[in-house]
Structure 1
Amino acid sequence: MASSFVIPLESNPDVLNKYLEKLGVASKYDLVDVFGLDDDGLNCVPRPTKALILLFPVSDAYEEFRKKQDVELSAKPPTIPENLFFVRQYVRNSCGTMALVHAVLNNLSSIELKDDSVMKKFYEKAKELTPEERGRLLEQNSAFIEIHQALAEEGQTAAPPSDEIANKHFITLVSIGNELFELDGSKNFPVSHGATSDEKFLFDAARVCKEFMARDPKELNFTIMAYANAQ
């Protein structure tokens, strides 16, 4: 059985791009830092942008909001597009891996997976499963876990013990059928944030990031990466 907890990843494009390479993602797309959410900052992000990944502090204000939102979604489950690939998170501190999985496997029309790679094998087994079954499959995937652990130790900051719960969390924002979705494996459902388009996606996703920041105006520890055509 794979470990039920891992060392948390940091928001470091160099490390995470290496992780994607080891998982077998053969793509012209790379993770790059987003340094500002105003128009000037967003206009510096390479295009096209396929996903936005936000790392944010797990505060009391966020936890209160998350619980309220989960009650609302459970009472009225959202309609989820059939081609949206969503995975529940069951391995503690693995939200960085979940964010990458959600970014890549919701953009397979643009992204190539190498034959016989860790990511492609997982996708082929998981594509017809429920989000819960996908999460359990990933929990048992020793190749994913081993690569995660190795790359987590390559970050620029000292890694905390893997059995400690990280106080930051990754989510991914993607466009599916011109609808903006927040994908967070710790939640029971994807969260729709309304209509978007290829041209507006980056700006619409940035708006959602600003909403996270507005819930914790005293917090400064937010980082954002774009999965974009950086070549």
Structure 2
Amino acid sequence: MSGGWNTIESDAGVFTYLIEKLGVKDVQFEELMTLEPEELRQAGQIYGVIFLFKYPTGEARSDTPKDGTFDYDAAENIFFAAQTIQNACGTQALLSVLLNKDGEVDIGKDLREFKEFTTAFPSDLRGDALSNSDLIREVHNSFARSSPFVDETQRAATEDDDVYHFIAYASINDKLYELDGLQPAPIFHGPCTVHEFPDKIIPVLQRRIARYPATEIRFNLLAVVRDLRIHAREIGDMEKLEEEEHKRTEWQWENALRRHNFVGFVGELLKGVVKDKLAQSPEAYNKWVEDAKKKTKRRVEERQKQGIAGDD
């Protein structure tokens, strides 16, 4: 493989522009704030959901899932890829929805060719093909947050790390499937038409969340839906259309910021501040440093009073 995969955020704007860059048309992601079927229905035409949760790194793999049943036949009959590399699970989850919705969704030339190329592969080879796809990896990495300090590809997770994992849920062939590349096969959760999906998926998610301590709140749920601007145009809702266009503008700005790190800029800014203080006089510079030390000391003392440990 010619390169590694970097971590990407579970963010509607990241995922929306990532799939557009891969050639998918008229699809977007919407973050869901509640586990209510009605909120899911309000998102419009739904293709599936992406669920992010804290993954128990020390948990032993089981021959039976904690909820639902493994469908080994479906592993070969629908698009299901084993996860063979760290950090790729976000993109793998969204592709697990979209490549199983080819026909309902225009997935574009490149993804359609990838799907056709891997159709006869077993799930482990599909995972290898996905991990080794230069196109998919490069698009994925273009949405990773820039950092000059950490190479995400060089260290495996340990049991002490907070590791997060993406999985997909979708109605495929009138069956509700959980598509998790770390499992040996798709997990079948019962009959489910596309129309029934909002009602059927919520109890599955609630049962999964219930397996965690009540204090665990770090979950994220994204719906894979038809571009909401299309429906707004169809019904002539100009207010909704303007709202969605504004959202896209914000997503583009946030994605542009992710591609840059500002360490050099901040360093040069600090140099300029120091130079300005020195130009005033050595006394002014020394006073500025001492004032900063006193403020830092006060903040540390306040944090200690509140029971919050300060940085070393």
User: Which interval holds the TM-score relative to the shorter structure?
Assistant: 0.7 to 0.9
Task: Show the counterpart of 2:262.
Answer: none
Closer/same/farther in 2, CA of residues 109 and 69 from structure 1, 3 Å limit: same
Cα separation, 1, equivalents of 2:53 and 2:76: 28
Query: CA-to-partner distance for each residue in 1:34-77, whole Å, 9 max, x for gaps?
Result: 11012453343x2221111100011369x35x536369999x86
Q: Does 1:177 align with 2:173?
A: yes
Q: TM-score, normalised to structure 1's length? A: 0.84
- Cα deviation for residue 227 of structure 1 reads 0.6
Residue 8 of structure 1 corresponds to which residue in structure 2? 7
Q: CA deviation at 1:121?
A: 2.9
Deviation at 1:103, TM superposition (A): 1.0
Query: What residue is the counterpart of 1:161 in the other structure?
Result: 152
Provide the rounded CA distance (Å) in 1 between the counterparts of 2:66 and 2:31.
33
1:56 counterpart residue number: 53
Larger-Rg structure: 2
Which stretches of structure 1, 4 residues or more, deviate above 4 A after TM superposition? 70-74
Distance 1:127 1:134 in 2: 8
Distance 1:40 1:121, change over 3 A: closer
- Secondary structure of the residue aligned to 2:85 is coil
What residue number does 2:85 align with? Answer: 91
Please state how far the C-alpha of 1:203 moved relative to its aligned partner. Answer: 2.2
Matched, 1:223 2:220: yes
Separation in structure 1 between the aligned mates of residue 130 and residue 199 of structure 2, nearest angstrom: 31
SS of 1:228's equivalent in the other structure is strand
Give the aligned CA root-mean-square deviation in angstroms.
2.8
Partner SS, residue 210 of structure 2: helix
After TM superposition, give the deviation of residue 172 of structure 1 in Å. Answer: 0.3
Partner of 2:28 in structure 1? 30
Give me the whole-angstrom Cα distance separating, in 1, the residues matched to 2:13 and 2:210.
Answer: 28
* Residue number in structure 2 paired with 1:122: 114
Q: How big is each residue's C-alpha offset from its partner over 1:139-177, in whole Å with a ceiling of 9 and x where there is no partner?
A: 22122111111112279xx98733343600000001112
Q: Which has more helix, going by share of residues?
A: 2
Structure 1 57/130 Cα, relative in aligned 2: closer, same or farther at 3 Å? same
Q: Choose the corresponding residue for 2:44, options 43, 47, 50.
A: 47
1:194 is aligned, of 173, 190, 198, to 190
2:268 aligns with none
Q: Name structure 2 gaps, 5 residues minimum.
A: 230-312
Which of residues 111, 119, 134 in structure 1 aligns to 2:105?
111
Report if aligned partners of 1:174, 1:182 keep a CA contact under 8 Å in 2. yes
Residues 68 and 188 of structure 2 are in contact (CA less than 8 Å); yes or no, is this contact kept in structure 1? no
Structure (1 or 2) with the greater strand fraction:
1
Q: Report the alpha carbon displacement of residue 120 of structure 1 after superposing the two structures with TM.
A: 2.6
Aligned amino acid, residue 31 of structure 1: F
> Are 1:52 and 1:202, in contact at CA under 8 Å, matched by a contact in 2?
no
TM-score, with structure 2 as normaliser: 0.64
How many residues are aligned here? 221
Percent identity (aligned): 26
Q: Helix, strand or coil for the counterpart of 1:41? A: helix
